[in-house]
Amino acid sequence: MRNRLSITAVGWSVSAVLAVLYVLIMIAGLLLVGSLTTGSWQAAFLGIGWRTIAGFEIGFLVVLIAGFATAAVTMPTYYAIRRQTAGHPRTPANRSWAFKLFMACLVLPAATLVALRLLAPALSSAAGGRSQPLNMGPAINTAHREAEPSFTADGRTMYFNCNSGDICVSRLVGKWEEGNWTAPERLSAPISTEYEEVEPVINVAGDKLYFTSIRPGGRLRGIPFLSPFVNAVRVANTLATARFGRSFFDGLGLPDLYVSYRVDGAWSDPQTINDSAGEPHLNTTFADHCLFFSADGTEAFWTSTRPGGFGSDDIWTSRRVDGTWTQPENLGPNVNGPGSEHTSIPTPDRRSLYVTATRPEGFGGEDIYITTR
């Protein structure tokens, strides 16, 4: 009996030491990996999911097994040595401290992580209403350009610019808060070609994909982007039918807007938006790109360099009335100035429009403005 108790005591002692090391390694790993993938250790802790917490706790079972396995292997040798040593009375082993230390390692870190998980929304609000942006990590991002995400109405399918000039799709696995997305799949031909395809917009139903391209006769892949806006911050409007970014290939062919339809699980050959029945006629011999729709799909906003504007890039609009799109209209001098205006995103109530613009009264470079009607 004493032999079994001694093995038990040693097992708990070894397990307690391993548990302390396990906690320290996990915290250090979370700080390191979290800082690299999310940009800060605070964001890493606030972004911990339930699966991570469950995995952390399961790890203690491995620690416990390793502790008692070590005791079982080492104790026979220990007792053999003790039997050869005369005049040394056995000291009853005390496992109380080891058991308490192990349970503290098991419970306290997990309780802290659970509290952070439950309080994350409140902590984010206290910090300014929104959490710190979290990098989507290596599952989505690479050394190439990943940008311009567009989501289906349920938020579970994301189309985005990938490989610096292709369109990829990724699907959410599990809950949104957990952030588990499938490996991106490059849309094959006829969507992705040797030319650049950027600024994807998927409609609510997920069966209509808009994008910008300069095929054929435009720039080929491998020539660097020349746009000063290529890394501009995009404003999100996930409630709208579209979410678009900006990329302008100055002097190397003018971009046009294309649309492809999903029929029987496959994407149709893209057509220019002018050649597609029921779509607004937006393309000209000038640059037309950076398309957004209102939440109800009855208004289109895009950027164009066509004549009749007030600067290099202006915001234009077209409305769908009784199933027919109106002639494009310039939003006028209150919105468009002598500089450049682009990325025009309407609010869900259609009353306001967010516009990215370059103006002398701004804070430098491009600024975000809002106009209301």
Query: HSE of 207 in the Cβ direction (CA atoms, 13 Å)?
Result: 5
Q: What percent of the chain has pLDDT above 70?
A: 72
pLDDT at position 94 is 55
Mean pLDDT within 16-38: 74
- pLDDT class of 122 with cuts at 50, 70, 90: low
- pLDDT class of 175 with cuts at 50, 70, 90: confident
Query: Which residues face 91 on adjacent strands?
Result: none
Query: What average pLDDT does the chain have?
Result: 74
- pLDDT class of 353 with cuts at 50, 70, 90: confident
Angle at 224 between CA 293 and CA 194, to 5 degrees: 70
- What confidence tens digit (pLDDT) does each residue in 267-326 have? 998 888 888 888 999 988 888 888 888 888 899 999 999 999 888 889 999 999 998 999
pLDDT at position 65 is 87
Map out the domains of the chain as residue ranges: 2-126, 147-372
Mean pLDDT within 70-97: 62
- pLDDT class of 342 with cuts at 50, 70, 90: confident
Q: Quick check: 255 pLDDT over 50?
A: yes
Angle at 238 between CA 171 and CA 337, to 5 degrees: 130
Pick the CATH number of 147-372 from 2.120.10, 3.30.559, 1.25.40, 1.10.3470: 2.120.10
Contact 16, 101 (CB under 8 A): yes
Least confident of 232-241, 249-258, 287-296, 324-333: 232-241
Mean pLDDT within 31-56: 62
Q: Quick check: 250 pLDDT over 50?
A: no
Separation in Å, CA 334 to CA 291, 292, 343, 361, 370: 20, 19, 16, 14, 11
Least confident of 25-34, 73-82, 158-167: 73-82
- Kind and range of the H or E run holding 200: strand 197-202
Local structure of 2: helix, strand or coil? helix
CA–CA separation, 272 vs 210, rounded Å? Answer: 9
Q: Quick check: 222 pLDDT over 70?
A: no
Mean pLDDT within 75-101: 62
pLDDT at position 2 is 45
Local structure of 21: helix, strand or coil? helix
Q: Quick check: 329 pLDDT over 90?
A: yes
pLDDT at position 47 is 59
- What confidence tens digit (pLDDT) does each residue in 124-163 have? 444 444 444 567 778 888 888 888 788 887 888 989 888 8
Mean pLDDT within 57-61: 83
What does the DSSP assignment read for 21-57? HHHHHHHHHHHHHHHHHHSSHHHHHHT--HHHHHHHH
Q: Quick check: 168 pLDDT over 70?
A: yes
CA torsion angle for 140, 146, 152, 157 (degrees, to 10)? -20
Question: Tokens standing for 42?
Answer: 């605070």
pLDDT at position 150 is 83
CA–CA separation, 196 vs 189, rounded Å? Answer: 12
Query: Which residues face 166 on adjacent strands?
Result: 162
Contact 227, 246 (CB under 8 A): yes
Parallel, antiparallel, or unpaired: how do β-strands 166-173 and 157-162 relate? antiparallel
pLDDT at position 77 is 67
Least confident of 102-116, 127-141, 310-324, 328-342: 127-141
Local structure of 364: helix, strand or coil? coil
Q: Quick check: 12 pLDDT over 50?
A: yes
- pLDDT class of 33 with cuts at 50, 70, 90: low
CA–CA separation, 362 vs 207, rounded Å? Answer: 39
Contact 142, 48 (CB under 8 A): no
Mean pLDDT within 334-349: 82
pLDDT at position 45 is 59
pLDDT at position 4 is 44
Question: Tokens standing for 359?
Answer: 């103006």
Question: What HEC string does 154-182 produce?
Answer: CCCEEEEEECCCEEEEEEEECCHHHCEEC
Q: How far apart are the first and last CA of the chain?
A: 85
